Amino acid sequence: MAQQPYKQVMTRQQIFAASLRRWLIPLGVVLLILFAVIYPQLIDKQNIWNLFFLICLHTTLSQSWNILAGFAGQTSLGHAAFFGIGAFVTRTLWLDGTPFALAFLAGGMATVAFAMLIGAPTFRLRGAYFAIGTLGVAEVLRITVSQNVPFISSMPGPMMAAYDLAPRYYLALGLAIVTTGAAYLLLRSPWSLGILAVREDEGAAQSMGVHVLGHKLLALAFSSFFAGLAGGLFAFQQISYYPAAPFSPLWTFDALLIAFIGGLGTLAGPVIGAIFFILVRQQLAVTLVEIHQVVFGIFFIIIVLVFPGGLVEAAMRLRRIRWPKRPS
Shortest CB 139 distance to another protein, Å = 5
**DSSP for residue 96:** T
- Asked if 107 and 60 touch (Cβ cutoff 8 Å), the reply is no
- If the CB atoms of residues 238 and 293 are measured against another protein, the closer one turns out to be 293
Distance between CA 249 and CA 14 in Å, rounded? 49
Distance between CA 76 and CA 74 in Å, rounded? 6
Task: Count other Cβ atoms within 10 Å, centred on residue 274.
Answer: 28
Shortest CB 291 distance to another protein, Å = 6
Shortest CB 79 distance to another protein, Å = 11
- If the CB atoms of residues 37 and 125 are measured against another protein, the closer one turns out to be 125
Distance between CA 296 and CA 24 in Å, rounded? 32
- If the CB atoms of residues 41 and 144 are measured against another protein, the closer one turns out to be 144
- If the CB atoms of residues 150 and 167 are measured against another protein, the closer one turns out to be 150
60 sits in which H/E element: helix 46-66
Shortest CB 97 distance to another protein, Å = 27
Q: Which residues contact 31 (CB under 8 A, 6 or more apart)?
A: none
**Phi, psi at residue 194, to the nearest 5°?**
-60, -45
Task: Summarize as ranges the residues that interact with another protein (CB under 8 A).
Answer: 73, 75, 77, 117-118, 121-122, 124-129, 131-133, 135-137, 139-140, 143-144, 147-148, 249-250, 252-253, 256-257, 260, 290-291, 293-294, 296-298, 300-301, 304-305
Task: Count other Cβ atoms within 10 Å, centred on residue 288.
Answer: 12
- If the CB atoms of residues 121 and 327 are measured against another protein, the closer one turns out to be 121
Shortest CB 130 distance to another protein, Å = 10
